[in-house]
Amino acid sequence: MELTPDERGRYARHLLLPEVGLAGQLRLKNASVLVVGAGGLGSPVATYLACAGVGKLGILDDDRVERSNLQRQPLHATPDLGRLKVDSARERLAALNPEIEVEALPERLTMRNAEEIVGRYGLVVSGADNFAARYLVSDVCVRLEKPWVHGALHRFDGEVTLFAPGGPCYRCLHPGPPAPGESPSCAEAGVLGVLPGIVGSLMATEALKFLLGIGDGLSGRLLLIDALSMNFRTVRFSAQPGCTGCTGTLPLEDLSEECAPPASNLRFMKEITAPQLKALLGSGEELRLIDVREPDEWAIGHIDGATLVPLATVPATCASWDPDEKIVLMCRSGKRSSDALAYLAQQGFTDLTNLRGGILAWSDQVDPSIPKY
């Protein structure tokens, strides 16, 4: 393949770099990258890879644009509210660079589709905001011998690394997921709006270096960013003896449930919809309504009659509760409350129900005066 006259003009500053030049730009044109997530990290990653001329980009995300996304996800704009993120992302990327191909994948990476989707691309860049997805990306990339760039955010902090074939894997860095409540997502803990731009740009840089075969990659090194102190530091990590992830033989069937409550607790997993909960509260039935979000989230809006018990404090607080009383748990979207439900089930509580969709569903279906965030 050759560069067209338009492409030569578009990538003129790349062509001036001896480390890139015409040969390097052609390598980018022939490259394919899967971007997992079109949110805070996926926005700058996809934007800069598109502008750089990566020939094929896959954007994988099953979420829709919410107002709270607009603080840090510049791939999407106010008119995109309610649209699939992959659709608004594809539209914006095509406007930035019509010379490339953008494949919109409106789905979630699962044990059933991971190998087929990842197998179509030469490099994966993941901005997934949960541990289960990160383990799945890692294990399928090891199995298929695909390199991938990892990035993560937490409030004012970020991290970036590269996992290359033959090097340590994500499980070498994080052998197992944290306990419930120990590592909240951005939706749970908040994030400085500009931080995804910093971390995502570094992820895109690492991806371009790998595709071009230049510079010193981050394989075996974790770059840590502290935006409050504006401190960048690198720590080394290596392959761990006996790491199950490095073998590439870990069954993918186990991965999507990696961070889910134990199967033995599933019999306790009752759910209630927001309208059903409204009716239950109106019936006068006696119950304990527990909100396991954080105080700052509670202050944004909450259901009247609920009690705030942040997830990390549930073990210490529940000792005073009656194990046979009816308890309804809730959080922002239903994930943390399901973790709390699983813990309470292990402690012998017998009448547990989770609010399906959490406060977001309550805002949508019952009380729109509670802001969505």
Question: Which residues, listed in sequence order, are joined to residue 289 by a DSSP beta bridge?
Answer: 328
Contact predicate 336/188, CB 8 Å: yes
Q: What is the pLDDT of residue 266?
A: 37
Question: Which residues, listed in sequence order, are joined to residue 236 by a DSSP beta bridge?
Answer: 221
* pLDDT tens per residue, range 76-96: 999 999 999 999 999 999 999
- Which segments in the chain show pLDDT lower than 70? 178-188, 250-269
Q: What is the pLDDT of residue 187?
A: 66
SS3 242: coil
- b/e 254-293 (16+ beta carbons within 10 angstroms → b): ebbebbebeeebeebeeebebeebbebbeeeeebbbbbbb
Q: How many CA atoms lie within 13 A of 174 on its CB side?
A: 22
* pLDDT tens per residue, range 145-173: 999 999 999 889 999 999 999 899 999 98
Angle CA 257–261–264, to nearest 5: 100
Question: Which active-site residues does the annotation give?
Answer: 186, 331
Contact predicate 64/83, CB 8 Å: yes
